[in-house]
Amino acid sequence: MGTHYRGAETERRALDGYIKLARAAEATGATINDHLRDYGLTVSQFGVIEALYHLGPMTVGELGEKILKSSGNMTLVADNLVKRGLVTRRRRSDDRRCVEIRLSAAGEALLEQIWPHHAARVVAAFSPLSAEEQEQLAALCRKLGLAQATVALEAADAPA
Amino acid sequence: MGTHYRGAETERRALDGYIKLARAAEATGATINDHLRDYGLTVSQFGVIEALYHLGPMTVGELGEKILKSSGNMTLVADNLVKRGLVTRRRRSDDRRCVEIRLSAAGEALLEQIWPHHAARVVAAFSPLSAEEQEQLAALCRKLGLAQATVALEAADAPA
DNA sequence: TGCTATTATCTCGACATCAAACTATTTAAC
DNA sequence: GTTAAATAGTTTGATGTCGAGATAATAGCA
C-alpha cells in the first residue's frame, strides 16, 4: 500500500466523518427544535432564555459565547426578547460598558412550560442510540470539538 | 435506584450528547468553511458546486435535499451562482417543471482549485481523532441521523 | 377529453445573521 | 493625570434563509 492510497484513505475517512457529523447535527436539531415555532421562539431566542434559566443572568457578550452568535446579533435577539417581556436589560454599575440580561418572571414561566417538552424531544431524538453509544458519541464529539481551537491549518491554506 | 433517578439520568445523557454533537458540528464547520470567504462563496454555494461536481447535474429540488435548504432558498443560491457564471440553468424537455442545474467550465475550474484545500481542512479538523475514532464517530452519527426520520415524538408534544 | 390533485419552481415578505463602523467606558502607559 | 489602547455594546447595510402563496406543468381518473 503506497502513501498515495493511504492519503486517499485518510481523506475519505475525514470527509465521511464530517458529512455524517453535520447531517446528524442537522437532523437531530430539526427533530428537537421544531416545536419552538409553537411558542413563537427562534432557536437563538430559546438558547438565550435556556442559558439564563440554567446559568443565571449574563452579559450580552457571555450570551453570545454560549449560543455561538455574534455580538451584533445578540443585541437583536435581546431586543426581541425584551419586546416580548421575557428578559430585562440592565447596565452594570461596576462596569458601565456591560449590559446584564436577566430572565423576567414571564420568561422563567415560559421556559418552565417549554422545558419538559424540549427535554423529552432530546431524549426521543437520541433514543436510536443505546446509553453506551450516547456516551461514546458525546466523548468523541467533546474531544473533536474542544480540539478545534488548536487545529493546525498551515498545510490547508490556499496560496497567498 | 428509582425510576425517577433513571429518568433523570436518561435525560442528562441525551442532553449532554446533543450539546456536544451540536458544538462539535459547529466547531468543525467553522474550521472547515472559514476559507470559503476567500473565494467569495457562501457555505450553501460551495455545497451546491461540490454536489454538482461530484454527483453531476441535478434539479433544484434535488440540490435542496442534498444541502438541506428550502426550495425557495435554492432558487436564490442558484441565481447567485448563475450570475457569477459558475452554473447554468436549463429547463428539462421531458418534464418542463424541472430545472436542471449544471456546473459550467468556470465552476468546475473553481471547484478544482478549492477542493484540495477544502479536503485538507477536513482532514486537519478531524486529525484530533484517530482513524478508529473517526470511524466510530461516523458510524454513530450515521445511525443517529438516519433514525431521525422515524423518531416518535408523541410523548414530547406540547398539549393541544 | 376535461377536471382535479400533485409536483417543481419561483416570488415575496419577514426576519436572522454577520461584518464593519461607531460610541461609550475602562484600563494601561507614560 | 492625560492620552492611547482595549473592551462591550449598538447600529448599519448586505445577504441568507424560511415559509406561504403563486405559477406552471404533469399525472390520475371519470
User: Is B103 strand, coil or helix?
Assistant: strand
Tell me how far apart the alpha carbons of residues A78 and B107 are, in angstroms, rounded to a whole number.
41
pLDDT at residue B156 in the model: 56
Q: Do A121 and B22 touch (CB under 8 A)?
A: no
Q: What is the pLDDT of residues A56-66, one digit of tens each?
A: 999 999 999 99
Tell me how far apart the alpha carbons of residues A122 and A44 are, in angstroms, rounded to a whole number.
17
Picking from B62, B29, B53, B109, the residue whose alpha carbon sits closest to that of residue A18 is B29
Residue B149, pLDDT above cutoff 70? yes
Q: What is the mean pLDDT of residues B51-59?
A: 95
Closest by Cβ to B124, choosing from A21, A142, A152? A152
Q: Do B32 and A18 touch (CB under 8 A)?
A: yes
Tell me how far apart the alpha carbons of residues B79 and B83 are, in angstroms, rounded to a whole number.
6
Q: What is the pLDDT of residues B4-28, one digit of tens each?
A: 666 799 999 999 999 999 999 999 9
Q: What is the pLDDT of residues A13-65, one digit of tens each?
A: 999 999 999 999 999 999 999 999 999 999 999 999 999 999 999 999 999 99
Where are the alpha helices (H) located in chain B, listed in sequence order? 3-33, 43-55, 60-67, 71-83, 105-126, 131-147
pLDDT at residue A7 in the model: 77
Q: Find the Å distance, CA of residue B70 to C1' of nucleotide D21.
A: 15
pLDDT at residue B5 in the model: 67
Closest by Cβ to A25, choosing from B22, B126, B133? B22
pLDDT at residue A155 in the model: 54
Q: What is the pLDDT of residues B107-141, one digit of tens each?
A: 999 999 999 999 999 999 999 999 999 999 999 99
For residues A19 and A26, the answer to whether their CB atoms sit within 8 Å is no
User: Which domains are assigned to chain A?
Assistant: 36-146 (1.10.10.10)
Average pLDDT value over all residues in chain A:
91
pLDDT at residue A151 in the model: 85
Percent of all residues in chain A with a pLDDT value above 90, rounded to a whole number:
84
pLDDT at residue A136 in the model: 98
Residue B160, pLDDT above cutoff 80? no
- Name the residue closest to D21, CA to C1': B72
Q: What is the mean pLDDT of residues A112-126?
A: 95
Tell me how far apart the alpha carbons of residues B46 and A157 are, in angstroms, rounded to a whole number.
17
Picking from B120, B48, B133, B32, the residue whose alpha carbon sits closest to that of residue A8 is B120
Strand B99-103 relative to strand B58-59: parallel, antiparallel, unpaired?
antiparallel
Q: What is the mean pLDDT of residues A75-81?
A: 95
Residue B92, pLDDT above cutoff 70? yes
**Residue B90: how many other CB atoms lie within 10 Å:** 11
Q: Find the Å distance, CA of residue A16 to C1' of nucleotide D13.
A: 38
